[in-house]
């Protein structure tokens, strides 16, 4: 049975950003941010908007920078659909113009605090998923993962994480050349599931040797989410936070961790609790 035939129009979604153990030790707040909302397109269909950002570890206002990036993206999408815009209106130039407006917003905030825009540096990963097409944008590391178009129970990445000259470097939305580095993709087909994570989960979400998304991490978590009620679930988001804070995950990464999960596929298998899933248990790769 195809992915489309097992879907509904209503999204189920959860998201969480949790502080990494390395930040807890030195009393640094979580520098990741995330947001996810469902809007209505002009034809009344649902549009999922999901965005995550990871503040640069060296930035003085990293947590503020990531929060600004997420909230401003949600605001712009709200304005777009409120004015009658459609997902297909979000082309590459639109994404670049939005990034310029974000940089201007950050510059004003930096001037008010006597700082520089670099003090608010963060990555940005976003998905805007309509009824028959989807737009994805990314600058920096982290990953956006969607089902394989031919095998919906397998998963693939949209963009491979951006890396700078050195292994621990990446690109940020505040960079002067960010417009040249922002990645954009319009997929003209129905996307029924999407996950977005920051780089704290890359070693679990991606299989580096094969250069693929790590399907065993995502398959049981999505299967678990499909039995959730429609819309946002605060209860299941709390369960997601517990999972991201679990010893199993913290043994793999000490960084801040953010994960958004959204599905409109129907549940067809027996329920499986997140706490007992084997997501990522056999993942042994690292960056």
The percent of residues in the chain predicted with pLDDT above 90, rounded, is 85
Checking if the pLDDT of 2 tops 60, the result is no
Quick check: is 285 in a domain?
no
pLDDT tens digits along 7-60: 667 999 999 999 999 999 988 999 999 999 999 999 999 999 999 999 998 899
Q: What is the mean pLDDT of the chain?
A: 90
Q: Are β-strands 46-54 and 32-40 bridged in parallel, bridged antiparallel, or unpaired?
A: antiparallel
For residue 182, count CB atoms less than 10 angstroms from its CB and return exposed for 0-12, middle for 13-18, buried for 19 or more: buried
The pLDDT value recorded for residue 167 is 64
Checking if the pLDDT of 282 tops 90, the result is no
How far is residue 114 from each of residues 58, 68, 102, 151, 209, measured CA to CA in Å? 17, 17, 18, 52, 44
Task: Give the three-class secondary structure for 231.
Answer: strand
Say which DSSP state 228 is in: S
Quick check: is 197 in a domain?
yes
Quick check: is 75 in a domain?
yes
Rounded to an integer, the average pLDDT of 135-149 is 97
Quick check: is 284 in a domain?
no
Query: pTM for the full model?
Result: 0.89
The percent of residues in the chain predicted with pLDDT above 70, rounded, is 89
The pLDDT value recorded for residue 266 is 85
Quick check: is 283 in a domain?
no
The pLDDT value recorded for residue 57 is 87
- What confidence category does residue 170 fall into, taking pLDDT thresholds of 50, 70 and 90? very high
Q: For residue 161, what are its two tokens?
A: 């994480």
Quick check: is 226 in a domain?
yes
- What confidence category does residue 284 fall into, taking pLDDT thresholds of 50, 70 and 90? very low
CATH of the domain at 144: 3.60.40.10
By the 8 A CB rule, do 38 and 246 touch?
A: no
- What confidence category does residue 6 fall into, taking pLDDT thresholds of 50, 70 and 90? low
Quick check: is 282 in a domain?
no
Question: Distance between CA 234 and CA 187 in Å, rounded?
Answer: 30
Quick check: is 287 in a domain?
no
- What confidence category does residue 267 fall into, taking pLDDT thresholds of 50, 70 and 90? confident
The pLDDT value recorded for residue 165 is 64
How far is residue 260 from each of residues 105, 161, 256, measured CA to CA in Å? 25, 17, 14
Q: Domain span at residue 137?
A: 4-276
Question: Distance between CA 283 and CA 203 in Å, rounded?
Answer: 8
Q: How many domains does the chain have?
A: 1
- What confidence category does residue 268 fall into, taking pLDDT thresholds of 50, 70 and 90? low
């Amino acid at each position: 049975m195809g992915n489309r035939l097992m879907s509904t129009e209503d999204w189920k979604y959860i998201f969480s950003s949790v502080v990494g153990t390395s930040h807890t030790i030195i009393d640094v707040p979580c520098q990741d941010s995330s947001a996810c909302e469902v809007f209505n397109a002009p034809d009344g269909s649902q549009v999922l908007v999901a965005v995550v950002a990871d503040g640069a570890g060296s930035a003085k206002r990293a947590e503020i920078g990531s929060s600004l990036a997420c909230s401003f993206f949600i605001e712009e999408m709200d304005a777009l659909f409120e004015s009658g815009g459609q997902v297909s209106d979000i082309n590459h130039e639109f994404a670049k113009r939005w990034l310029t407006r974000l940089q201007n917003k950050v510059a004003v905030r930096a001037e008010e605090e006597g700082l520089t825009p670099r003090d608010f540096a963060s990555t940005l990963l976003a998905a805007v998923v309509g009824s028959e097409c989807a737009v994805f944008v990314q600058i920096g590391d982290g990953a956006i993962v969607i089902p394989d178009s031919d095998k919906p129970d397998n998963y693939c990445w949209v963009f491979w994480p951006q890396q700078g000259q050195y292994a621990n470097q990446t690109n940020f939305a505040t960079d002067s050349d960010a417009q040249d580095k922002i990645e954009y993709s319009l997929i003209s087909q129905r996307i029924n599931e999407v996950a977005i994570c920051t780089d704290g989960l890359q070693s679990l979400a991606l299989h580096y040797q094969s250069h693929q998304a790590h399907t065993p991490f995502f398959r049981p978590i999505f299967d678990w989410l499909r039995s959730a009620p429609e819309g946002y679930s605060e209860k299941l988001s709390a369960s997601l936070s517990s999972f991201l804070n679990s010893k199993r995950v913290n043994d793999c990464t000490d960084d801040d961790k953010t994960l958004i999960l959204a599905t409109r596929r129907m549940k067809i298998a027996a329920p499986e609790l997140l706490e007992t899933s084997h997501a990522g248990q056999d993942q042994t790769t690292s960056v």
